[in-house]
Every structure is written in structure tokens, then in C-alpha cells.
Structure 1
Amino acid sequence: MKNPLSVLLFCFGKFLFLSSLQSLGQDRISGQVINKSNKSIQDVSVILFSKTDGHVLKTSITNADGYFEISSDHLLNNDLKFTHLNYDERIIHLDTEALKNGIITVLLDEASRRNLKEVQVTTRKQLIERKIDRTIFNVENSIAVIGGDAMDALSKAPGVRVGSNNSISIIGKNTIKVLINDKLIRLSGDDLVNYLKSIPAADLSRIEVITNPPSKYDAEGNSGLINIVTRKVKREGFYGNVRMNFIKTVYQSENGGVSFSYVKDRMTLTGGINGNHNRTYSTNTKRTFYPEQLWDESANKIRKNRSISGSIGLDYKINSKQLIGFQYNASFPGNDDKASSLTTVGSHEKLKPDSLITTNSLTSSRIQNHSFNIHHEIEIDTAGKGVFTDADYFYYTKGSNGIYSSYTQNDAMSDPAHMSGALNQTPQKIKLMSAQTEFRYPVRNYKLSWGAKISMIRNNSNSNFYIENADTLLLDTSRTFKFRYKENTEALFFSGNRSFGKLEVQLGLRAEYTQINGVSETYNQENEAFYLKIFPTAYFLYRFDDEQSLSLTYGRRISRPEYSRLNPFRYYSSPYSYSEGNPYLLPSYSNNFEISHNYKDLVTSQGFVSILYNGFDQIGIPDKNTNIIGIVQRNFLKVTSCGINETINTTYSSWLESYHEISVYYNSAVSSNINTPKKVDGWGAYLSTSNTITFNKKKTILGSADFWFQFPEISGVDKVESYYSLDLGLKLLLLHKKLTVIINGTDLLKTNKVYFGSITNSIVQNYGGYSGARSVRLSFSYKFGAAIKSQRKKNSVSNDSEKKRI
């Protein structure tokens, strides 16, 4: 592509031209419903009916911001009716003048108390809704998450997997990113889990599962997004939640925290602090079949984890059209890992080994993680026009010390010459700065948005390697390195949405220009890369009626190598194993297609195809002469994945809510590296069932029974065996549902064990491990707080009339 920028401009122009040709199609009217205080009204029923016979033609409902939209061939000379429990009904006649701009603002008057008593609310949102670019799980309508937290809600969201070790993933995606109210949460691992557990499910409005992110989001990674949208606090007051968890695996662990929110006038203040003390035990095995020898290794590791994390955020409404706010997150985890391994070396025929290799290691790491976000929102008008700006700063430091010793025995006798020890220190600092501005501009029948983003990454990584010699430590300069990495990315994005009758179309385009510079001071080596890439997205949603819809999506993605993969230094974890990066690694690209059919938001059938080019991964290459395994980074993969996914959401009765899922897929990995098989392919499958049982009418005693099974599959060039898990739980809501007590048993059958194998350099390697997933967790959570009672008198505010003009 000689001139990508010209292609970008051409595609923008082509989209606008083709869309303009469709402007003569089906009419659409949209707008916002407000009250006399100029505040938006949610859940207003909007009904289009015939002026002549009163027949209902189309219905809609306003969202959290009071917006609605109706598309129909029969808008002209018919009527729109607006109804709400707390407001008087209003009817608007749609003549030529009303339809001229396609956007209206509707003012509703509050209903009298006498009329309110005569009305009962009988409608509620569906549990699962399908939008053109995402699936929405309405948390407030699920009995399964009553008394739970955000992690509990995620485990019930369609297409989301929460593993026994609290890992979060989306079906068919390698990684995921979590956002809160469209703001990226830069936490991972236990810190992310603890943060999500600090958010009560009662504070959540919905969870948006985005398998193919639109153009406004980064094109990085074959990853999905999970956007957690919280409820808008309508009552002024101080609210909080305190919690404590006790977990029993092989060892006992504890964690807990407190969170709060304070709402007063135009200000919303939120915050919290979490503490964590974990002790876990895991085991691993590795068998390497050399031509003349079998190396059989078994290892175990005890990890002690202590961390403290906190967050604070403030949003302030400058006026009815502007909001400014900030969010700060910090975490300070520390890990102490004590590991030991025993490797037996012998021939394939002999039962008695020729030698034994014992390796012990102790690794200690301390991390500081700081994330700061500032955001500003401007709503230009009630039709949805606005400017949204975010700026982020992320700072990460890690200090790590690793000590290991290796001891070799031959013929049951120790040989001092085969004893070795070392100390490895690896300090690291990472800074990330980014800023993004998005413009939203609906005009007539189009919803347009565009914007720009800039991001900068700075990474400094060092390693000081010392070897033990006569009870002293000597710096080994051959294993000591300094590596600096810089990455700048500038992006432009555009998105347009329009409905043509029952068909809704959304097209997007994103351009990213990336500059990379990596410097190895150890090797006096500098590597640079510059590239401009285009990433289109397309979404089509056809609604047959109110019960059925069909969608088709496409997106192109990029996966850039992590900077640790680019560091050329060779790091030895033992005398027989090392790993090294590759400064010449290139990004991989993927094309992703999805087609989905939805019936009554109860049954969703999905098919997907993903093709990844120039994929990179690590390869463990055993040396037949030295028996040393080198783990290296290479671009060598073309991976094709396709499959179908079926999800069923059912409520059999008032006491049982169930969610079932089954996926069948085919993975094919074609390798261009001579050390690996040319092609590895095969079928895989996954099934799960999640059930919530309500034992009483007050819904204060709830039970859960979850089971999932992962069939054998292909992952990269590895063949993975099957594994599964059974989880049971009981939830009690006490003290007027302020106190929640939960007991959960995870992986009760101890079957969540992963085994896989591969062939590299014609040598078979088999791996296995168990992360200690079987556990029993006892949790306590208590809600507190109250609304602030207003002390104002009716005539005590001198500027009341001026406020109403805002």
C-alpha cells in the first residue's frame, strides 16, 4: 500500500457518498424526553400509531439519557405517544414540519399523586439485548447476581468465562480488556479481581460484551472488551460496602476491603481500598524425549502474595451540558515464590535414572502500579451531539530478585563440580501516556462520530546476573543487560451508523501510525520500525420482528509484540534452560468475521471465522547435543479458527434461572519454522451450564450449580487435553438484604488440570500442571449508608429560576 492516507480518505468519501444515496429510504425520527427541570427521563414508552385507526405501528423506549429512536415508512401524518408512570401522557402529531430535522425534544409534565395510585408497572428490560456492535446483559434483571459483586455478574454475562482462578475471557478471544463506564481499567491479575469484587452488583446497570470492538477503540490485540456500566445514583447521600473473604485451598488466604460513594448536588465522589493476603500451591510436570535420553521433571511452587490497592474518583457537573472528572487507581502487590524441581535423566529403557538434577529457587518481587485518568464531557444539544475527551497516565515499577541453586547427582553420589548457584536482579520501569478526543454528531438519519488518539510507551528493563563462586557473588557480564524501548502511536478513527428500515448498518475506519525504537545497551544494538496500517470495521443488524434478529460483523486487528519479546538478551532460568527475545519480531494481523442469530434474546446462535497472519509465539527448541532448551521468539504462524457457539438463557420458573452454552470449533496452525510441525490442526469443543436456584419467595436464599467441560483442542502448535470443573454455592441475604453471606466450592472434583504436548526440532515435549483451583470460599459483605435529607425550603433559593435555565 503506497499511500494508505489516500485510501483512508477515499474510503471515508465513498462511505458518505453511498450513505447519501440511501437518504431517500425509510424515515427515522429521534430525540430526547425531558421534564421541566431539563433532566432526561428514562424508560418512557414511545408508541407510533396510526392517526386513522389507532393501530400501533412501532414502539420504542428511552435509554438512560432519555433518548429514543423510531424508524418507519409510516411516520408522516401519524402520531407519537409518550407515556411514563410518573408523567402525564403526551401525543405529538408528525407533520412535515415535525419531520423536517428528524430530531425532536419532548417535555413531559409530572403526573398527580392520585393518578399514580391507579397505575402499575408491568414492563421491564429484557435480560439480554442485542445491539449492532455488542451484546448487553441487564444485570438488574438477573436473580443470579442478587447480593453479589461485579465478578459474579461477569460470570453470568453471555459469552464471558470466569475461570476457577478468576481469569476472565471471552469465547474465541485471546485476551480481554475491562472498562468501567467506557474508561479502561489498567489493572490485571488479583488487583483487577479485587477491584471488581469491590463493586456490588446492585450498583451495576448492565454489562456490554464487545467481541469485535468498533473503530473508536484501539486495534491492538485479538481481544474483546467488557464494558461495565454502573447505575446513575439519583439520591444524594453516602453509601458504602465492606467485605471480607476467607479462601481455603491447600493453604488459607484472606482478602477484604471497603468502598464508598458520596453524592451531593453536582458532585459524585467514589473510592475504596482493598487488602489481599494469599498463599497458593501449584505443581507442574515436563517430559522431554531426547533421542538417547528421557528428561522427566516435576516441580512445585508456593506463592505468598500480599497486596494493597485503592481507588478514588470524582465527577463534577459544571452545568447541565458539561462534566469533568478524574479517576486514580493504585496497587502495591508483592510476591514471594519458593519453587523446587527434580529432574530425572535416563535412557528410555532403563527404570533407574542415570542422574538426578535438583533445582531450588526463591524469587521476590515488589510492584508499584499507578493509573490516573482525567475526562471532560460536553453535550452540545439534546440530540446527542458532544465532545468527549480522556487523558491517561500509567506508571509501573517492578523490582525482582531471583536466587536459584542447582545440584546434580550421578550414581547416587554428589559431585561438587555439578553444583551451581546464581542471583538475578531485574528492575523494570514502564510509563504510558495517552489522550483521546471523540466528536459525536448525529445529523438527520445518520449517527456520525470521529476522533483522534495519541499514546506513548516508555520501558526501561535491566538485569544483573551474579554467579556464586566460593561463597561470593560475581557479576556475570555475559548475562547482564540493559534494554530501552519506546513506542509512539497516533490514530484517527471514524464511524457512521444509519438504519434502512429493518436493516441497521454501522461502518468504521481506523488508521494507526506506529513508531518503535528498541535499544540494547548490552549488545550496542538499536532497532527501529515505522508502519501505517488501516483497520476497517463493519456491522449489519437485520431485525425480522421484535423477536428475531440477524447480525454480521467484520473487523481487522493487529497484535504487536510485547516489549519483553523484543529484548534480545539471553536469560538463564537454570543451567539447562534459557529464554531470549527477538528485536526483529513483526506484528501479526487478523481478519475476524462473525454471524449471529438471536431469538427472543433467549437463544443466540453464532458462527465465527478468524484468520491470523504472521503470528508470533515462543518456541522451546531442545539442543540434541547439550540437552539445553532454548525458548526463542519467532514470526512463524498462520492460524485459522472457525466454529459455532450456541447460548440458551432460560427462566424455567420463578425459582430457577439457567444459562447454557456450547461451542464447537476447528483450529489450524500452519508453521513456517523448520523446528516445528508444518501443520497442527484439530477440533475442539466447550460446554457449560450455570444455574441459580431461589429457595424462598423473598429471594434471600439462593443456590448455584455450575459445570463446564473443555474438550481436547489445538492451541498454537500445542495439543491440549480435556479438563473440567464443578462449582457449587449458597448465598444468604440477611438484615433486610444489607448483609450477604456466600459460601462457594470451586473445582470440587479437582479436575481443572491442564495437560498439553508439542513437537519441536523432532523432539516430543509433554507438559502438565495444576494451579490449585480447588477451593472453598466464605464471603461476607455489608452495605451501609443513607440518603441526605434536604433542609431547603421552597423559597430559600434565590437563583432557582436561573438554575432552571441551565
Structure 2
Amino acid sequence: MPYFPLARLGCLPLPFVGVFCGLLLATSSTALAQANAAVTGTVASQAGVAIEFATVTLHRAADSTVVKTEFCDEKGHFLFETVGGRYLISAAQVGFGRFWSPAFELTAPKLNLPAITLIASQATALKEVTVTARKPIYEHFADRTVVNVADSPLAASATTLDILARAPGVTVNASDNLGLRGRTGLLVVIDGKRVPLTGTELGDYLRALPAEQLQSIELITNPPVQYDAQGGAGVIAINLKKDQRLGTNGSVNTSYGRGRYGKFTGGLALNHRHKTFNAYGTYAYTERRGFVRLDFDRGYSATPQLAAAHSIIDNDQLTYLRSHSGKIGLDFTPSARTLVGVSVNGLASQTQTTTQNTTVVQSAAPEPTSRYTSAVAQDLNRPSGALNLNLRHTFADSATASALTADADYARYHTARLLELNTNFEQPTRPTTRLDGDQNSTLTIQSLKADFSQPLPHRARLEVGVKTTQVISDNSVVFMRTSEGTRTFDPLISNDFRYDENVNAAYVNLRGSVAKTTLQAGLRAEQTNTLAETEGGDSRERHYVQFFPNVLVQRALGKQHGLALSVARRIDRPSYGQVNPLRNYFDATSYRSGNPDLVAQTSYNFEVTHTYRQKFSTALSFAQTDNPIVNVVQPSPDGGRLVVNRDVNLSTQQYFALTITAPLEVAKWWTLYANGVLYYSRFRGSLAGTELDRGKPAFLFSANNSFSLPHAWTAELNGNYQSPEIWGFESARGRGQVTAGLQKSLWNKLGTIRLNVADIFYTTPIQSTSTYDNFTETFRSAQDTRVVTAAFTYRFGNSKVTAARKRTAGAEEELRRASGQ
């Protein structure tokens, strides 16, 4: 019986294509046809000298609301294109007092204002002053924390996963599962596009993406309904660099780090921005060698087939990663209010690993009963690419105008894994065996979405949107066994698997303010259709519709205090890798396999936040999660001493947390961003005859110190700690790290050198114990994380102009406001 015929053909629904193209043509035509009024003028000093780059702002006369901002050109000239109305003009520049014009009425097609004269301030008339503006590394907002990676000396030669592991409230466990404030289940997006990976697959992807490509990372704990409902713990939004300067500009960077092995990154960025278009491109190459040391201690209870036993396993693994990543794009602005863009990005990585494994199995006595060694070689290639077409349009030159955005996306992720596993049995002596694997996986994602924002009376705003997504995951693996010179196909572990997913979503969101209260209320509906098929096996088909409300109320309690309440429902659907039953062998003792029986976990999230002086915040949180997805290890159904790593659903998880955030200015040259999370998680469920009802308090702490030093030096010292915690059947020991870096600007800020040392005290190794009635496992994982790095960046081109002169309150800015940025 055919299922998802459009997805089978790799096509998006034709009605959505028609809607998208219609919106694109209609809004572009409307924008081109509209005629604007204009206001122009000049800015000069008392001596009559034109002031280049003076900031001129257009305000509404009624309430001084900012409409748009421009920079003066080299002749001190500025121009605003807007609609008729009553306005004010203000002008400012460093070293001068701010100027305010009288109110004026704009009715004619063009109005020339009298010349504006800025008067030098007394502070700068006495002596020369050097002003250096630097965005803080960490910024805290009501619903998110922003990490400005581009300004951090610790980003040199780091991977995106390294940066996340140091971010406030973020944790990364041994399986590369990301957590935020003590919870897992996160939506990861790069430039607004979802990364459809989890666990080790996501970890490998983020390791291959160098931090030099990043502009910022946003840790969003209460995402609005404009985001997918995926991600019970929140959203991690990764924003790549995009040059905003006019003219032709670029930068080159290179870095080399050394732990036990070397790590190299080099890259290039080019940008050409004109008043009507912007073309840009970036490229980075990464080559990283490292090691992974894995030690296992496993205990097996007696079964009808096997006696109780204990095994000790040592794995020494060498890794060699090479990756190429890049992005090219073009933005075209047919009018001041319309932007049409296209972008293509890609990431191709190859990881080669060699593992030496030694396994000793002992009886309960204990006496050695068997010993074997194995050599594992894996070659993993992961090319991926994505195409985006987008439209941004506002229907008037106003910060509160109606706005429309539309996006069409296509992404493809491919994985090719070659395995060679040779096992030598020393006690008792048996013939050497060899297992060869050839695994291929292709993940294709197609989506269309449109968002519309409409202002309402009384400072309110209505936002609506629709989105449809089609996903196809094709997987196949072939295993061949060789023993005593005979090579045979293994049909028991070779197979094909296909997973189709279709999600159709619509949302409505209302924002408004009354007196000292701000309210945002939204509802998102998502229809999900999935089909999982294994060749020669059963198929699993699911269809369901769920609703996801989101409410945020903020109240100002005087000038110093503020209170906010948020309530939201969210979902975590299993990823395509989590439901894939095909095997991926780690070594001779264990493998990873998905679970087609997994169902989505859903959660209700409540949070009350108190803010003091718009800086210091204290939040109390509670979340109830049904069918939580947790990672477990169990003896394989194949028998013997083989272990399978997979994900299962438990019954419930309850989560309580207290989060304290304190950005402090210790001194004029020293700022501290401190974040602490005290939380308690309780899990209930059962697995393999083991009933689970356990919880434990735990805490996270991070402190980032930024120092402004003489002679254009800056420094950063970052420390974080994760206390011992319980996660399902697993109990993990405490861990943390300290990282320090220096940075200096050269040649009038055209060049930058960076030096840093990561994991100074080598305290990141992870140790954990999983306990079941029939099985226990303790493991320790250590990697090449203590690294000393030197890096250099050089910028070229029109470096004087730091931003595009057209700062229209366009749809892109409107969406950022809708997201609380």
C-alpha cells in the first residue's frame, strides 16, 4: 500500500510551492510599486567639517519611537526613505553632544532639513579619548543566554562541541548527548535550520564544524511558538558568521593546537555588500588527531545459558578527523523593505579510527575464563549540504509594520561507514575471526514555511505561521564474516531500514503590553505521520496531532525588580538514528543499535523568574515528562558477553531546578558572568526486570571572567563543574574543566592573535555506572582535551564601515523581536 507518495517521489506538496511562489512574486511586486517619501540633511561640526559615520536616528514625534537609523557618508549626508507622518531627528557621534531636531511634518516627496551642527563635549575637548566597544562574551535575556563566540579568545582551534561544553548550563555526556540545565531533549538549529541528529552523530557533526565559523550561540530555555515544538529542554541556536560591512571585505584565519596530538584549522571569508545586494562566502578546513581511552568493568548475572561473570575491557583508540565546511549566499534587496536571499552550505568530514581492544572475562571465583584481543578500523565519511531560499518583506517603513517571511529548504545528510573488526581468541584458543561492515545512510529533509506579523491597536501584535516538513531516512548495512579463510554473508545483522516522517504545523501568537505588564500567548499545532519499515520485517506506522501552548507574562515591580511566569508544552520525537535498528559496532564487545519501538516524549514546563536591576536573575523551574527517552546498556539478545547500547522509554521524569545568573562588573577591567543551576531529577520506569524509582539532587556551576588589559590585550578565564548526578539507570561522577585564553589586536584591529589552554587540569574524563538487576557496567572515557593553541586572524577590505547603512526595521529584525532577542 503506497504511503506518503509525495515523500517517496522526493517532492514537496504542490499547494505549498504555489503559496510560496505567489507570496514571493506578490510581495516583491508590491515593494517595487510603492513610492516612499524621503527626508535628507547633513551633519557637521562647529567648524563646518562634515562628520562621517555620525549616527542619525528617525523617531516618531508622538512618542519618540525609533523608526530607523542611518550613518552619514563622507560628506556628512544622510537620507531616510519612509512614509508620510510627523517625525523627529536625533544625531550623535563620539566626542559630541546629541542633537534633537524640532518635530516636522513629512508630506512632500522629499524634505531637506536645515544643516545639523554637533557641539563637541567638554570631556573630549580637554584631552584625546580612545573609546573601545567590545560586545560581552555572555549576554543574558529573559528567555535565553547568548554566547558571542566571535569575540572569545577561547574559540581559537576549538570545535563547536568544545564551545557548547563550556557554555552556561550546558553538559555533554560520554554518548555526546547535549543537556541544558540538567535536562536532555534539545532542538539544535544552525542559522535557523534544524540539525536532524542526536547523540554521537550530532557530536561528530559539531566536532567537524570549527568554532572559527561561529558568530554566536543562543541557549533558549523558553522558545516561542515560532520554533518547532521539538526540544523539551529548549533550543540551541547556532549562528554562523556573516560580514555586515559595506564594500568588499574578507578575513583569513589559521590556528594550531597541540595536546598529545596536533589540531589545525584554517579558513577564509569573503563578502561584497552593495546597497541592493550582498554576496558572501566562507570556507574552513580542519585536521584534528586525537585519542580516546575507554575502560569498562562489566558484571553479568547468571542466566540459564551462562554462569555469572565479570569482564574487564580496555580500549585505546586513535582518531584522525578531516573536514571541509563552507557557505555561499546572495541577498538581493529590490526595495528598502524587501530582501530575497539564497544560500548553500556544506560540511564534508572523514574520520578514521583505529582501536586496540583487550577483554578479560572472569568467573565469580574470580578466575580468568577467557581472553581475547581485537583490532578495529573504521572509516567514516559524512558529506552534507543544505539549500535555502528566503523572502523577507515589511509592508511599511516602521518598526511596527506588518511583516512577512517565507523559507524553502532542502538538506541532505549522507553517512558511509566501513568497518574491519579482527578478533584474536587467546583463551581458550579459537580461530581468528573477521567482521567487515559496509553501512550507508541518507537523510533527506524538505520544508516550506511562512510567517506573518501584524500590528494591532494598543501596542499589541499578532503573529501566525505555517510549516510543512518531509523527511526520508534510507539506511542499509551489509556484514560479512570471515573464519578459517571462509568469507560468508551474515543475514542476521544485515538489513535495510527506511523511516519516513511528515510534520505539518501551524501557530498563532499574540503579544502585547498593558501598563507594566507584557503578555505573550501562543498555540502551535503539529500533525505527525511516521512510517518505519525494515526489509523482511514488520512496519510501524503512527499518526497523531498534538497542541503546544506557550504563555509568558512579565511584570515590572518598580524600577529595580521584575517578575516573569512561563508555561509551555513541548515534545521530543525520536531522531532518525534513534529508531534505526541497524547495528554500528564500537569494538568486539559492544555495538550501538536504534529502537523502532521508541515513542515521543512530551513535557509540561513551568518557570517563575525574578530579575533585579535588569541583570541578576533567579528562576524556579518544574517539568513533568511522560515517556522520557534515556540511553541504556544491556546484554545483547545475541547472547555471549556482547553488549548493546540503545535508547528506551521510561514512564515519567520529574524535574525541579533553581537557576541563578549573575553578570558582575568586578572592576572596570574585569567582568564576571556566573551561572549556577541546582536541580533534582526523578525517574520512574522498568527495563529488563529492573524497576526504577530514583532521583538525586545535583548542580551545575560556570564562571566566565573577561579581562581588558593594557596595550590592546584581552583575556578570558572559564571554569565549569558538573556535580555527580543520576540519569535513569546511570550514575555519573562529577567533572569539569578550566580554560584560559589571551587575545591581542594588531595593526589598527586588522589582525588578531590568540593563545589559549583548554582543560588545564585535565578534569574532563567521564566516569559512570549503570546498574540493573541482571547487569552492571562502569566505564571511564578520556580524550585529548588538554590542548595549547595559537591562532592568527587577518581582516582586509573596507574596515572603516562597520555596518550596512540601511538599517530598515525589516522582517528579519521583526522575527528577532518576536523571539525575544
TM-score bracket for the superposition, by shorter chain length: 0.7 to 0.9
Counterpart selection for 1:740 from 735, 744, 752:
752
Which whole-Å CA distance do the structure 2 matches of 1:442 and 1:146 have between them? Answer: 40
| Aligned counterpart, 2:314 | 298
CA-CA distance at 1:748 after TM superposition: 1.4
| Aligned counterpart, 1:449 | 463
Counterpart selection for 2:404 from 363, 370, 387:
387
Letter in 2 for 1:359: S
| Aligned counterpart, 2:263 | 253
Residue 114 of structure 1 aligns to a residue whose secondary structure is strand
Q: C-alpha deviations, 1:77-117, integer Å up to 9, x for none? A: xx997644278524669xxxx9xxxxx99x99777463254
Which whole-Å CA distance do the structure 2 matches of 1:582 and 1:200 have between them? Answer: 34
- Residue pairs, 1:55-454, within 5 angstroms: 83-85=90-92, 89-90=100-101, 112=115, 114-117=117-120, 133-135=143-145, 159=168, 161=170, 170-174=180-184, 176-177=186-187, 182=192, 189=203, 192=206, 197-199=211-213, 208-227=218-237, 236-291=246-301, 292-350=308-366, 353-381=368-396, 382=398, 383-410=400-427, 415-417=429-431, 419-445=432-458, 446-454=460-468
- 8 A contact 2:416–2:440 mirrored in 1: yes
Moved more, 456-465 or 228-237: 228-237
Q: C-alpha deviations, 1:458-498, integer Å up to 9, x for none? A: 11100101000333422112221011111111101110001
Residue 521 of structure 2 aligns to a residue whose secondary structure is strand
CA-CA distance at 1:249 after TM superposition: 1.5
Residue 395 of structure 1 aligns to a residue whose secondary structure is strand
CA-CA distance at 1:139 after TM superposition: 8.7
Which whole-Å CA distance do the structure 2 matches of 1:43 and 1:590 have between them? Answer: 47
Residue 426 of structure 1 aligns to a residue whose secondary structure is strand
| Aligned counterpart, 2:83 | none
Which whole-Å CA distance do the structure 2 matches of 1:149 and 1:44 have between them? Answer: 39
Residue 477 of structure 1 aligns to a residue whose secondary structure is coil
Letter in 2 for 1:366: N
- 8 A contact 2:768–2:780 mirrored in 1: yes
Q: C-alpha deviations, 1:134-173, integer Å up to 9, x for none? A: 4567899x89899999979977998464879999764344
Counterpart selection for 2:550 from 537, 556, 575:
537
Note the residue ranges of structure 1 that are not aligned, 5 or more in a row: 1-32, 50-57, 67-78, 99-103, 790-806
TM-aligned CA distance change 1:183 to 1:629, over 3 Å:
closer
2:485 paired with 1:471: yes
Which whole-Å CA distance do the structure 2 matches of 1:117 and 1:231 have between them? Answer: 36
Q: C-alpha deviations, 1:582-639, integer Å up to 9, x for none? A: 3332111111122212222332212211221012334322379844434454322411
Which whole-Å CA distance do the structure 2 matches of 1:503 and 1:157 have between them? Answer: 35
CA-CA distance at 1:37 after TM superposition: 6.2
- 8 A contact 1:236–1:788 mirrored in 2: no
| Aligned counterpart, 2:602 | 589
TM-aligned CA distance change 1:200 to 1:359, over 3 Å:
closer
Residue 365 of structure 1 aligns to a residue whose secondary structure is strand
Which whole-Å CA distance do the structure 1 matches of 2:632 and 2:218 have between them? Answer: 36
| Aligned counterpart, 1:793 | none
Q: C-alpha deviations, 1:20-72, integer Å up to 9, x for none? A: xxxxxxxxxxxxx997269xx989597999xxxxxxxx997678799xxxxxx
CA-CA distance at 1:342 after TM superposition: 1.1
- 8 A contact 2:675–2:703 mirrored in 1: yes
Q: C-alpha deviations, 1:252-309, integer Å up to 9, x for none? A: 1211111121112311111111111111101111111224321111112111111112
2:509 paired with 1:487: no
TM-aligned CA distance change 1:583 to 1:600, over 3 Å:
same
CA-CA distance at 1:652 after TM superposition: 1.9
Letter in 2 for 1:585: L
TM-aligned CA distance change 1:484 to 1:144, over 3 Å:
closer
Which whole-Å CA distance do the structure 2 matches of 1:629 and 1:147 have between them? Answer: 38
TM-aligned CA distance change 1:259 to 1:164, over 3 Å:
farther
Residue 761 of structure 2 aligns to a residue whose secondary structure is coil
Which whole-Å CA distance do the structure 2 matches of 1:582 and 1:152 have between them? Answer: 26
Counterpart selection for 1:556 from 569, 590, 606:
569
Letter in 2 for 1:367: R
Which whole-Å CA distance do the structure 1 matches of 2:757 and 2:156 have between them? Answer: 17
Letter in 2 for 1:688: S
Which whole-Å CA distance do the structure 2 matches of 1:344 and 1:231 have between them? Answer: 50
- 8 A contact 1:42–1:63 mirrored in 2: no
Residue 586 of structure 1 aligns to a residue whose secondary structure is coil
- 8 A contact 1:156–1:690 mirrored in 2: no
- Residue pairs, 1:713-728, within 5 angstroms: 713-728=725-740
| Aligned counterpart, 1:72 | none
TM-aligned CA distance change 1:37 to 1:219, over 3 Å:
farther
Letter in 1 for 2:472: R
| Aligned counterpart, 2:578 | 565
- 8 A contact 1:149–1:199 mirrored in 2: no
Which whole-Å CA distance do the structure 2 matches of 1:574 and 1:233 have between them? Answer: 45
Counterpart selection for 1:36 from 39, 64, 68:
39
Which whole-Å CA distance do the structure 1 matches of 2:595 and 2:167 have between them? Answer: 38
Q: Percent identity over the alignment?
A: 21
Letter in 2 for 1:115: L
Aligned residues: 713
CA-CA distance at 1:673 after TM superposition: 2.9
- Residue pairs, 1:490-639, within 5 angstroms: 490-523=504-537, 525-569=538-582, 576-622=589-635, 626-639=640-653
Letter in 1 for 2:796: F
- TM-score w.r.t. length of structure 1: 0.79
Which whole-Å CA distance do the structure 1 matches of 2:764 and 2:473 have between them? Answer: 36
Which whole-Å CA distance do the structure 2 matches of 1:182 and 1:638 have between them? Answer: 31
- TM-score w.r.t. length of structure 2: 0.78
- 8 A contact 1:609–1:640 mirrored in 2: yes
CA RMSD of aligned residues (A): 4.0
Letter in 2 for 1:772: D
TM-aligned CA distance change 1:259 to 1:547, over 3 Å:
farther
Which whole-Å CA distance do the structure 1 matches of 2:177 and 2:70 have between them? Answer: 33
Q: C-alpha deviations, 1:616-674, integer Å up to 9, x for none? A: 33432237984443445432241111111112111222221111122211111111335
TM-aligned CA distance change 1:649 to 1:618, over 3 Å:
closer
Note the residue ranges of structure 2 that are not aligned, 5 or more in a row: 1-35, 42-53, 72-85, 125-130, 302-307, 802-821
Residue 216 of structure 1 aligns to a residue whose secondary structure is coil
| Aligned counterpart, 2:16 | none
Residue 578 of structure 2 aligns to a residue whose secondary structure is helix
TM-aligned CA distance change 1:495 to 1:145, over 3 Å:
farther
CA-CA distance at 1:714 after TM superposition: 1.3
TM-aligned CA distance change 1:575 to 1:363, over 3 Å:
closer
Q: C-alpha deviations, 1:752-774, integer Å up to 9, x for none? A: 11111111233222121112211
| Aligned counterpart, 2:32 | none
- 8 A contact 1:691–1:706 mirrored in 2: yes
CA-CA distance at 1:408 after TM superposition: 2.2
TM-aligned CA distance change 1:180 to 1:623, over 3 Å:
closer
CA-CA distance at 1:695 after TM superposition: 2.2
| Aligned counterpart, 1:750 | 762
- 8 A contact 2:497–2:535 mirrored in 1: yes
Letter in 2 for 1:245: S
